[in-house]
């Protein structure tokens, strides 16, 4: 089981049902949530900081949005080097054409 806790107290939680803590029973469900949760601005920031596009789930959670959550994965369900697709408008955002 993957347990995610959303830290910012004054903001609405992006976790299912707006809860502060949510348990994901599968890695695929967690991965889909990450894909929808991490904003494109954080992905662009990763590119600017690391000098490369974010490729893995670990990259996607490395900065910004990823710092707003705590993840407990006692059964090691998360495969941190799993490839993630970038949003279609990533290059436009990276180049500052759609800010």
Chain segment 59-91, per-residue pLDDT in tens:
999 999 999 999 999 999 999 999 999 888 888
**pLDDT surpasses 80 at 58:** yes
Looking at residue 98, what is its pLDDT? 47
Per-residue pLDDT tens digits for 8-42: 988 899 999 999 999 999 999 999 999 999 998 89
Token readout for 85 is 């697709």
Spacing of C-alpha 69 from chain mean position: 9
Average pLDDT in the chain: 91
Token readout for 74 is 């006692």
Q: What is the pLDDT of residue 99?
A: 45
Global pTM value: 0.87
H-assigned helices in 1-64: 27-37, 40-50, 57-60
**Tokens 């889909």 label which residue?**
32
Angle subtended at Cα 39 by Cα 35 and Cα 52, rounded to the nearest 5 degrees? 85
Q: Look at residue 96 and tell me whether its pLDDT is greater than 80.
A: no
What's the gap between Cα 76 and its chain centre?
A: 17
Give residue 93's pLDDT: 77
CA torsion 8-9-13-18 (nearest 10°) is 160
Q: Where are the beta strands (DSSP E) in 1-99?
A: 2-6, 21-24, 69-72
Contact between 40 and 64 under an 8 Å Cβ cutoff? The reply is: no
């Amino acid at each position: 089981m993957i347990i995610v806790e959303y830290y910012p107290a004054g903001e609405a939680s992006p976790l299912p049902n707006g809860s502060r803590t949510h348990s994901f029973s599968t890695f695929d469900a967690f991965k889909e949530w990450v894909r929808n949760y991490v904003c494109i601005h954080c992905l662009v920031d990763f590119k600017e900081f690391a000098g490369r596009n974010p490729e893995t789930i670990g990259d996607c959670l490395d900065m910004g949005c990823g710092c707003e959550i705590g993840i407990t994965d006692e059964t090691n369900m998360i495969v941190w080097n799993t490839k993630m697709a970038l949003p279609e408008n990533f290059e436009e955002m990276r180049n500052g054409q759609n800010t």
